[in-house]
Amino acid sequence: MADLGKKISWKASLAKGEKPKLQDPAEVFLSFMNFCEAKIPSTKLKKECERFDEQRKLIKSEYKKFISEIAKEPFIASFVVWVKEVGQQDTEQFEGATMLLKNGLICVVGDDGKQWTIENAKVFDHRIVIDTIRCHREWPLHQRENVVKTYLSFLSWLSAETFSYIARFEDPDQVRTRGRMLPYPAFISFLSALSNDKARLVASLLYYGGSRSLDEVLQLTLKDVDFKNRIIQFKSASVSYPEHVFADVKAIAQSRTSGKLFLGRQKSPLNPAIIFRNFKEAALNSVLGNLFTPAYLTAGQRSLYRTSLKYS
């Protein structure tokens, strides 16, 4: 009760506008140290604290030296070391690393003609590389995803080796679709099984677009598509899409600038039944099986169905 009285008295003082008396910080710390020494079975606590503080400062100093040196190293050198240490142990990653180099996706020389360094990589927006890979429509979808996975694996390794000087980087598409009923790897498996480009684009617009309906997607016109800002205007909302989705939109639209985005035979509106049939066939040829419906592409909640999916 005495403690309660003190609390009430202290609150009453604050209500009157009286400032509580503050103790000397040095006295507070001394009291704290005395308490620690009484509780901890060590007679050398002060020396141990001093030694820890010295080690902490030494490590920080050495880290600064390490960063100042490694920041100057060529980015390509780190990539080669990664391939030697990690990449060559995995056939797919080694293939991905080779494609990254062959297609100029590992920067060697900057726009200023100078060698590109790890310091340059620190401030670089690595989404540019990811978008470039996914827009490379000449490559099969599974190959594009493997190259993306390889690049992300390299960046993750480099982040660990530089003690987070290079920040960890996540796949923007996976971040965007996190929490969906249909996991991203399962979606890629499904998308790869679709042989029709129009059906693939419809699936992408549904999956990356949130809660859009199949009817909304099929009713899109080219006037609804803002290529400059990468936004598509649906009846219910404006949706921003990844750059590679717009590359697919351009491929479908070709030279057309007006009218429906999705056309069937003889330039008539695309029949939803055709898309539904394409989806069903692709589901049977992927990890999804016969339980799949188009609603799984847009659902944002988890379900027991997720646990039945088997994917690598």
Closest CA to 237 of 211, 218, 207: 211
CB atoms within 10 A of CB 70: 18
User: What's this model's pTM, rounded to 2 decimal places?
Assistant: 0.80
Domain 184-307: state its class. mainly alpha
pLDDT for res 309? 44
Q: What are the distances in angstroms from CA 163 to CA 60, 63, 66, 285?
A: 12, 9, 10, 43
| Structure confidence at residue 218 (pLDDT) | 94
Q: What is the pLDDT of residue 246?
A: 96
By CB neighbour count within 10 A (0-12 exposed, 13-18 middle, 19+ buried), where does 196 fall? middle
pLDDT value, residue 105:
96
How do the domains of the chain map onto residue ranges?
A: 75-170, 184-307
Q: What pLDDT was estimated at residue 25?
A: 80
The full DSSP string for 21-41 is: PPPPHHHHHHHHHHHHHHHSS
DSSP 221: B
- How many residues can be counted in the chain? 312
* Cβ neighbours around 308 below 10 Å, total: 11
Query: Helix crossing, 75-85 with 141-161: angle to 10°?
Result: 100
Q: What is the mean pLDDT of each run of 10 residues along the chain (312 residues)?
A: 52 60 77 79 76 94 93 96 84 93 94 95 96 95 96 96 94 91 91 93 93 91 94 92 95 92 86 91 87 78 41 38
Residue 210 pLDDT: 83
